[in-house]
């Protein structure tokens, strides 16, 4: 899988080059340049799209015409890189060793829900100006119903030329659906998790050359915007790339507003590594040790299920995003910071668009890891938060004392009141809070790959339990309760509730 790209390097040392000539065939170019230090690279990442192949001294990047104009103003020499042509021959459409046409893709997605209507639903979440659709599968035992389950998301190929995850996502959906009822592990995942799979987040980029093949796929969308720089950013705020939110971006913003995803992964390509938060700043995430744990779990499994040399880029297949290079406007940081969802980025192949014949090998290496990460959604701290009087579910803040920073807390979700807080093993003080309720803090112990369930009742402030209020209204002005809360007719060692003329309650303790 470590195949060298056939690249044509053309040096451009002057800056009077007619920029229009560079963008005659397509609205993006790929180029390399030497940089002085990481600080310079991070500044440049705000005007061009740095690629994952960047090394300690040499940067690789994409740019549209506007971005490249800004880059030229920096006075940096560059080399234009012409990508090798993609047109693999002798491809047979079996064993998942091919890239489907756009029509085959949409038919395949529809066939999943037609074949498994009890556990699979196809959602058409948006249509682009080209007429191509953003599609997503929902897989669950009671599909479409809200349950006490975590919602998990896999999405792929928001960079349209990074397509290994496109086919792997389709095959994963097929594998899970066909395994339901036959494979106990797959059956348990479907029964206990609300699984969402979006194989193709940038169909205009993938099928830039037409719906029949992906050989002219582009990184950017049809407007020549990098979708993974187009999200609200924790550090740089809205529109960090200076572009309007693209249709694709708005579609996913709407999806994340509608579905309370608790854990997710975004599939890319170009190297082989797990990239975990943060991308936008150097501060480590509150759950950095958990991120290292699940990232190594993914990478280690890939290495164990493949030949030598796969998925060992950087720190043995894992990296903190900012330690690699800064990204602003990425979806990973958006999901973590604004949506309280644990998302990392999977770089699945050194080749952005691998030889289709290599796709089955990539599947063999990755599918155990893909299942392991889905299963992680069941672990950590979880439970339901309800009103202690009415039993109604609550949307409450779940915060780890002396631990949570940078929006790492989570919330319980309506209409169930369920929450999931993923944590590395250890002992934690957890505070549950909601406006109008007394906060509640518990101490709990977390073990890796284990579920710890803590169901919580929050007591409303300045309210009387309904049963007591009804008793007072129905029977008497004075009621007595012993220290265990039982009605006490003798009024000894009791708490006396007195109903005043105006209906208010006063209290006094009577000890004999």
pLDDT digits (tens, 9 = 90+) for 432-450: 999 999 999 999 999 999 9
pLDDT of residue 217: 96
CB 411: neighbour CB atoms within 10 A? 17
Stretch among 33-47, 130-144, 161-175, 402-416 having the lowest mean pLDDT: 33-47
Query: For 334, phi and psi rounded to 5 degrees?
Result: -60, -50
Instruction: Report, as an integer, the average pLDDT of 469-476.
Output: 43
pLDDT of residue 358: 94
**How much is the mean pLDDT over the chain?**
89
Q: Tell me how far apart the alpha carbons of residues 424 and 414 are, in angstroms, rounded to a whole number.
A: 26
Q: Which of 128, 135, 124 is nearest to 198 (CA)?
A: 135
pLDDT greater than 70 at residue 477: no
Winning range, highest mean pLDDT, from 21-35, 109-123, 314-328, 479-493:
109-123
Domains of the chain (ranges; CATH) run 8-82 (3.30.70), 102-376 (3.40.630.10), 380-458 (2.60.40.1120), 466-510 (no CATH)
Check: CB of residue 269 under 8 Å from CB of residue 347. yes
Residues 255-312: tens digit of each pLDDT: 999 999 999 999 999 999 999 999 999 999 999 999 999 999 999 999 999 987 899 9
319: its two tokens:
């990296």
Sheet holding 478-482, edge to edge: 478-482, 494-499, 505-510
Instruction: Report, as an integer, the average pLDDT of 363-369.
Output: 98
Residues 49-87: tens digit of each pLDDT: 999 888 888 999 999 999 999 999 999 999 999 877 776
Q: Tell me how far apart the alpha carbons of residues 156 and 176 are, in angstroms, rounded to a whole number.
A: 17
pLDDT band at 464 (very low <50, low <70, confident <90, very high): low
Residue holding tokens 């960090």?
240
Instruction: Report, as an integer, the average pLDDT of 468-488.
Output: 45
Instruction: Report, as an integer, the average pLDDT of 95-105.
Output: 95
DSSP 215: T
Q: Which of 200, 163, 405, 390 is nearest to 284 (CA)?
A: 405
**What SS3 state is found at 398?**
strand
Q: What does the DSSP assignment read for 331-392?
A: HHHHHHHHS--EEEEEEE-SSSS--GGGHHHHHHHHHHHHHHHHHHTT-EEEEEEEETTT--
pLDDT band at 476 (very low <50, low <70, confident <90, very high): very low
pLDDT band at 6 (very low <50, low <70, confident <90, very high): very low
343: its two tokens:
């998302």
pLDDT of residue 504: 40
pLDDT band at 473 (very low <50, low <70, confident <90, very high): very low
**pTM of this structure:** 0.87
Instruction: Report, as an integer, the average pLDDT of 81-110.
Output: 86
Alpha helices in 128-214 (DSSP H): 164-179, 184-192, 203-206
pLDDT band at 500 (very low <50, low <70, confident <90, very high): very low
pLDDT greater than 80 at residue 394: yes
pLDDT greater than 70 at residue 483: no
pLDDT of residue 1: 52
pLDDT band at 4 (very low <50, low <70, confident <90, very high): very low
């Amino acid at each position: 899988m470590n195949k060298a790209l056939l690249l044509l390097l053309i040096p451009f040392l002057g800056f009077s080059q007619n920029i229009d000539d560079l963008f005659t065939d397509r609205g993006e170019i790929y180029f390399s340049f030497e940089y002085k230090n990481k600080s310079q690279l991070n500044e440049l990442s705000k005007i061009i799209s740095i690629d994952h192949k960047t090394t300690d001294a040499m940067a690789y990047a994409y740019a549209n015409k506007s971005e490249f104009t800004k880059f030229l103003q920096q006075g940096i020499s560059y080399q234009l890189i012409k990508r090798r042509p993609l047109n693999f021959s002798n491809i047979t459409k079996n064993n998942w060793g091919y890239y489907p046409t756009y029509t085959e893709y949409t038919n395949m997605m529809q066939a999943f829900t037609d074949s498994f209507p009890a556990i699979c639903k196809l959602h058409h979440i948006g249509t682009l100006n080209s007429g191509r659709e953003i599609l997503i599968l929902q897989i669950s035992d009671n599909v479409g119903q809200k349950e006490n389950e975590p919602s998990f998301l896999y999405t792929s190929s928001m960079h349209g030329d990074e397509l290994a995850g496109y086919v792997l996502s389709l095959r994963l959906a097929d594998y899970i659906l066909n395994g339901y009822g036959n494979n106990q592990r797959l059956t348990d995942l479907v029964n206990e998790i609300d699984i969402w799979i979006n194989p193709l987040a940038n169909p205009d980029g993938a099928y830039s050359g037409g719906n029949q093949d992906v050989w002219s796929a582009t990184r950017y969308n049809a407007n020549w915007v990098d979708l993974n720089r187009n999200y609200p950013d924790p550090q740089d705020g809205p529109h960090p790339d200076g572009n309007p939110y693209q249709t694709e971006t708005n579609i996913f913003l709407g999806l994340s507003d509608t579905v309370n995803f608790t854990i997710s992964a975004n599939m890319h390509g170009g190297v082989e590594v797990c990239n975990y938060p943060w991308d936008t700043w150097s501060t480590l995430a509150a759950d950095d040790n958990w991120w290292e744990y699940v990232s190594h779990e993914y990478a280690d499994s890939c290495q164990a299920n493949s030949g030598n040399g796969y998925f060992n880029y950087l720190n043995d297949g894992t990296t903190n995003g900012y330690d690699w290079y800064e990204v602003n406007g990425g979806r990973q940081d958006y999901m973590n910071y604004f949506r309280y969802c644990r998302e990392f980025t999977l770089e699945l192949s050194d080749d952005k668009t691998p030889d289709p014949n290599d796709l089955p090998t990539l599947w063999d290496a990755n599918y155990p890891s893909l299942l392991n990460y889905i299963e992680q959604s069941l672990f950590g701290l979880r439970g339901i938060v309800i009103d202690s009087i009415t039993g109604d579910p609550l949307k409450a803040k779940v915060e780890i004392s002396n631990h949570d920073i940078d929006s790492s807390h989570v919330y319980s979700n309506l209409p169930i009141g369920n929450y999931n807080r993923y944590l590395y093993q250890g002992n934690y003080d957890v505070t549950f809070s909601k406006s109008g309720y007394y906060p509640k803090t518990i101490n709990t112990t977390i073990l890796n790959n284990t579920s710890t369930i803590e169901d919580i009742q929050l007591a409303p402030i300045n309210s009387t339990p309904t049963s007591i209020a009804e008793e007072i209204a129905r029977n008497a002005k004075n009621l007595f309760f012993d220290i265990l809360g039982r009605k006490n007719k003798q009024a000894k060692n009791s708490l006396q509730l007195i109903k005043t003329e105006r209906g208010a309650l006063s209290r006094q303790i009577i000890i004999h």
